[in-house]
Every structure is written in C-alpha cells, then in structure tokens.
Amino acid sequence: MNKKTNWFKDAIIYQIYPRSFCDGNNDGLGDIPGIISKLDYLKELGVNCVWLSPVYDSPQCDNGYDISNYRDIYPPFGTLDDFKKMLSEMHKRGIRLIMDLVVNHTSSEHVWFKSAISDKNSPYRDYYIIRKGKKNGKKPPNNWQGFFGEGAWSRIGDSEDWYLRLFAKGQPDLNWENPKVREEVKDILRYWLDMGVDGFRCDVINLISKKQDFKSRFPAIALTGKDAYITGPRLHEFLHELNVDVLSHYDCMTVGETVLATKKENILLTDPKREELDMIFNFSHTDSDNFFGVKYFYRKFKLTRFKRRLNNQQENLKGRGWNSLFIENHDQRRSVGRFGSVLGEYETQSSEALAASYFLLQGTPFIYEGQEIGMRNAEFKSLDEIDDVESHNIAKILSKFPFKKKFMNLLYEVSRDNARTPMLWDDSEYAGFSIVKPWLRVNPSKDVINVKNALSNKDSLFYFYKKLIEFKKNNKVIRDGEFKMIAINNPYFFAYERTLNNEKVVVVASFSKKERKFAYSNKLNSNDIVISNYENHGERFKPFEVRIYHIK
Ligand code: ISL
C-alpha cells in the first residue's frame, strides 16, 4: 500500500547549508551540534521542515556534493549519534527533515570508484561510465562539456580509459543503466528513511539517465552533449522504480533539482499519477537575469520577464503537479538587490515585496538560511576569498581571455560563495557563527544585518516572513486555491490572486521607488488588508509597499 500522504503541500521548508549555519565546536566550520543549538530559532520563525545540504562523509571537493560514504557523517560535522539527536530534536519541535540525495555521482574517493579504477575486472567497474578515449586514449571519448566549465571526462591515470563526470573531477557519474547501482541507491534511501528521515531533495536528478550513443555533438556550444544527459531516455522509468520500490513505502516527500528541464518534462516529473517526484525546482525565474540559463551571460533584470516566467511555471502545473517556490539557495547569489529588490534605501521594504511575490504562489515555499534576515552578497574582491570549486574552474578559463578584470568582477558577483558566507547571528567578530576564523569570510554587513537585530526589531524582514508563514499555515486558500496573475504586463507591480470558493487572497507588491497607483486595488477594501509593510494605505502605493488582502 502506498504510505505517502501529502504533507509536503503544507510544508514550509528552510534550507540549511551545514558548513555555514553554526559552528558548535569552534573549528571554523558549521556542524550538526551547531544546528541543534539553533532549532528554537527555526521554531520561532515558524518553518516546519528543514532541507539539509549534504552532511555525508566526503572529501568536500564540492562541499559534500561529492559523497564518499552514504551511510556516515563527515566527521567535522559530527557523528551519526549527533545526526540522530538532531533529527529527534527537530521532530520534537514539529520540524521534519529532508536530506540532500546526491546520486547522479559519487566522490572519486568512494570505495566503489577506487575499486573501479584500480582493477578492470572489479565488480564496481560498471558502476561508473568508463569509455576508451580517442587517439589511443589520449583524447576524451567525445566532446561533451560539464557544468563547471570543463570537459565532461577525466582520464584514468595514463590508461586509455576515461570516466564521465558532469561536475568536478572528484565527482564521477554513476551508471544508472546498471541495475546494481539502482539497488544500491534504493538501499541508501531505505537506510535514512528507516532512521526517520522525512524525504529527499534529489540533486541534479534529471541527469541520471544518459543517451548511450556517447557521440560528439556539433556545433559544440555551452553544455555540449546536454541533449544526451539532460532528461535522458530512461529518467522517468528510473524515478518510477525508486518510487514504487522504496518511496511509496514511507510517508516521505521528494523534491527534484531538475536542471534546464522543459515545460513538458516538468509536468511528467510531478504528475502524481505517474509516481515519480512530488515537486521539482524550476529555475526559469532565477535565470530570468541571464541568457541560456548560464549566470555568466548576464542580462538586465526586467520585472515583467520575471513575472511571466513564474506565471508560466504556475500555469504549466495547474491541476497537474506541485510547484516549489524559492528565490535563493546555496548555488544562487543572494536575492537582496536582485529580482527587483534594492540595496540601501528601501532595502527591507523591497525584500518584503519580493518575499510576498513568491511566498503565497501555488506550491511549497522554501527559505534559504539568512534570506529571512536579508543577508547580502559577500562583496568578494579577490579570488583568494572564494572557496567554491566552480568559481575556481571558471577563473582558470577566464584567465585566458582579454578583459579578464571585467569578467572577474562578474565572477565575484555571481559566485556561489555569495550564498555560503557564515550565517550572521550577531555583530561579534565572527558574527556569532564561531569564535574562531570561519572557513569563508564573514559578510562585512554583520554589524547591521544579523539575527539578534532582526529579532529585536518588530519591523524586520524576519517578522515579515514570520507573518507570511503563519498566514500560509492557517489558510487553506493558499494551499488549495486557484492562482491567477494580475496585470502581468505592468512593469511596477507584482500582483496575483488565490481563490478558493468564496474566499480570495490578493497580493499586491510595488517594485517602484516612487509612489504609484495600481488601478486594480481601487476595487479592493483596505479593511481587508491582513499583511502589509506600511501602516496607512492611501490611493498610491508607497515605495515597495505590499498589501495582502484577505476577502471572505
Ligand atoms: O550552480 C550552478 C551553476 O552555477 C548550477 O549549474 C548547479 O551546478 C546545478 O544547479 C547543479 O547543482 C547541484 O549539483 C551540483 C552541486 O555543485 C550544487 O551545489 C548542487 O546544488 C553537483 O552536485
């Protein structure tokens, strides 16, 4: 019998990046005891689920997205006992836990991979995608490109053979064609689910099936070969198999990170009847300020494009699948000063306008650590301040280009490490994250932007998020109501309705520094406003004013 209920539809999920959240043992790196010490803070915010980025044992070439042991914890983060304690402390507080499941690839330090490359007859050889290179093994088997700016193959020593790795060299892709690999993955799922974990965020899950031709693609442009490895031919079959054999036996949920998936694929992946995933992350709106989904191809932000993309996501899954709602994660730069919000004057109000714009759409909202206090980008000034493997790979490529300086400045602005600086708990030297120098620099804004200040100011962004969370929890119209975008071509306002029978919620957020009228709101009664970031509501909206009307 299928044991899955739909609790994910009521979830409000907070993402923790363990390295950067709280350092419990003062070694400069966040850890599980640190997380435990902050659970009351999450309870105060009101979230009821945590997505934990990887804490498994790992050599950390990509901060844990390279797993060397799926059944243990990276020692600097703590022990399995610490993990179990964290899980039970979360459950005591009504907070569920979803783990990051990274099974498109393992670490090159995983015993499977070590055996696979050291012995051609190893039973683990076929766990990976290993092919003979061209030109007597001196050149890669084809011209595919990976996600971190490099070719997708690495040579095994000085042999003729190469292994596929769509990310860093230390992240060999698993061969999902091999049924033994799929059984291993199922066992890993069961291991954590039996321990009481509530579900998984499935890393780059739409890359697990690859077209088996392994031929070069022409013309060779960004992400060459992507037609072979993005939403490959057996993806749906593999996901269905995991669901039927494991997931459906537990009351758990899944959210898939699906990179560059099409509208049609997104429907197939989330259609409950097909039993694949509960939801997916669609990046079309976070990519609205770049070309081709590549953040280095920067494009000026336009509110109307952002609205259209979110509207497309909502319309696409209407009555068919479930959306995930987010504006930040550990791979994205911070949303402050992005997506129409501004730094400096009106910083808080504009972050509130952005928060209201995404949080009450149809779907399950996510908050990334620090987003709720308006943490800003890191303002990196040199590559030495950056740790991320992706940024370093790109920097290597950029060093060969003219205009290097201009490109490097862009790299500092979009580097994933902008989201990974230590959480700002207070204004002490290391921001209450640690008492020793952290692994990544502390954001210089810590004197003003920190949790302590946020909690002591009733008008802070934190309390605005808290209100949105409370409102969503208490009103089924936000979960079940029909979505409709209002005035989609208006360049200054983000507005939408959610309707359930005779009940209606209308969200109107101004994205203008000037006072402006919004014709639609003339029809509404200001007595129905339940959440706002200003006290008095005139005919004109004040800069970045939000009004949420609840009409019953
Ligand atoms: O961050 C990106 C580009 O800057 C994305 O292309 C990202 O690599 C992609 O969304 C996949 O991300 C996930 O898998 C990666 C890991 O590095 C990311 O942190 C993770 O979110 C490989 O496991």
Q: Is residue 403's pLDDT more than 80? A: no
Q: Is residue 375's pLDDT more than 90? A: yes
Tokens of 499: 């309707």
- Could you tell me which of 152, 221, 199 has the C-alpha nearest to residue 13? 199
Least confident of 184-193, 276-285, 398-407: 398-407
Ligand 1 neighbourhood includes 203 CB (under 6 angstroms)? yes
What's the rounded Cα separation, in Å, for the pair 30 and 250? 30
Ligand 1 neighbourhood includes 202 CB (under 6 angstroms)? no
Q: Rounded to 5, what percent of the chain is helix, strand, coil?
A: 35, 20, 45
What's the rounded Cα separation, in Å, for the pair 88 and 91? 5
Tokens of 2: 């299928």
Peptide bond into 219 cis (omega under 30): yes
Average of per-residue pLDDT across 476-481? 98
What's the rounded Cα separation, in Å, for the pair 513 and 490? 15
Ligand 1 neighbourhood includes 287 CB (under 6 angstroms)? no
Q: Which amino acid is at 33?
A: P
Ligand 1 neighbourhood includes 389 CB (under 6 angstroms)? no
Ligand 1 neighbourhood includes 259 CB (under 6 angstroms)? yes
State residue 509's pLDDT score. Answer: 98
What's the rounded Cα separation, in Å, for the pair 264 and 203? 20
State residue 400's pLDDT score. Answer: 85
Q: Which CATH architecture has domain 7-98+323-352+364-378+423-474?
A: Alpha-Beta Barrel (3.20)
Average of per-residue pLDDT across 326-344? 98
Smallest CA separation from ligand 1 atom 3, residue: 331
State residue 406's pLDDT score. Answer: 83
Average of per-residue pLDDT across 303-327? 98
Q: Is residue 334's pLDDT more than 90? A: yes
Residues 444, 379 contacting (CB under 8 angstroms):
yes
pTM of the model: 0.98
Average of per-residue pLDDT across 72-98? 98
Smallest CA separation from ligand 1 atom 11, residue: 204
pLDDT digit string, tens, across residues 37-56? 999 999 999 999 999 999 99
Average of per-residue pLDDT across 338-350? 98
- Could you tell me which of 410, 430, 407 has the C-alpha nearest to residue 418? 410
Smallest CA separation from ligand 1 atom 7, residue: 331
Smallest CA separation from ligand 1 atom 10, residue: 259
Residue linked to tokens 């892709």: 173
What's the rounded Cα separation, in Å, for the pair 135 and 132? 9
Rounded to the nearest whole angstrom, what is the distance from the C-alpha of residue 331 to the centroid of ligand 1? Answer: 6
Ligand 1 neighbourhood includes 165 CB (under 6 angstroms)? no
- Could you tell me which of 247, 256, 238 has the C-alpha nearest to residue 321? 256
Q: What percent of the chain has pLDDT over 70?
A: 100
Smallest CA separation from ligand 1 atom 19, residue: 331
Q: Which amino acid is at 124?
A: Y
Phi-psi bin for 94: left (phi > 0), alpha (psi -120 to 50), beta? Answer: left
Q: Which ligand 1 atom lies nearest to the CA of residue 295? A: 4
Q: Which ligand 1 atom lies nearest to the CA of residue 167? A: 22
Ligand 1 neighbourhood includes 102 CB (under 6 angstroms)? yes
CATH 1.20.1260.10 for the 111-164 domain, yes or no = no
Residues 253, 272 contacting (CB under 8 angstroms):
no
What's the rounded Cα separation, in Å, for the pair 460 and 418? 22
pLDDT digit string, tens, across residues 157-205? 999 999 999 999 999 999 999 999 999 999 999 999 999 999 999 999 9
Rounded to the nearest whole angstrom, what is the distance from the C-alpha of residue 150 to the centroid of ligand 1? Answer: 14
pLDDT digit string, tens, across residues 211-236? 999 999 999 988 999 999 999 999 99
pLDDT digit string, tens, across residues 413-448? 999 999 999 999 999 999 999 999 999 999 999 999
Ligand 1 neighbourhood includes 390 CB (under 6 angstroms)? yes
State residue 528's pLDDT score. Answer: 98
Domains of the chain, by residue range, sit at 7-98+323-352+364-378+423-474, 111-164, 379-414, 478-551
pLDDT digit string, tens, across residues 479-514? 999 999 999 999 999 999 999 999 999 999 999 999
Q: Is residue 1's pLDDT more than 80? A: no
Q: How confident is the model at residue 95 (pLDDT cuts 50, 70, 90)?
A: very high
Ligand 1 neighbourhood includes 17 CB (under 6 angstroms)? no
State residue 404's pLDDT score. Answer: 80
Average of per-residue pLDDT across 252-259? 97
What's the rounded Cα separation, in Å, for the pair 220 and 225? 8
Rounded to the nearest whole angstrom, what is the distance from the C-alpha of residue 240 to the centroid of ligand 1? Answer: 23
Ligand 1 neighbourhood includes 204 CB (under 6 angstroms)? yes
**CATH label, 478-551, candidates 2.60.40.1180, 3.90.79.10, 3.90.380.10, 2.40.50.100:** 2.60.40.1180
Smallest CA separation from ligand 1 atom 2, residue: 331
What is the set of active-site residues? 203, 257
Helix/strand/coil for 105: strand
pLDDT digit string, tens, across residues 514-543? 999 999 999 999 999 999 999 999 999 999
Burial bucket for residue 519 (CB in 10 Å: 0-12, 13-18, 19+): exposed
Rounded to the nearest whole angstrom, what is the distance from the C-alpha of residue 282 to the centroid of ligand 1? Answer: 13
Residue 97 CA, chain-centre distance (Å), reads: 15
If one residue of 65, 100, 418 were mutated to test the ligand 1 pocket, choosing by the most ligand atoms within 8 A of its CB, it would be 65
Average of per-residue pLDDT across 289-316? 96
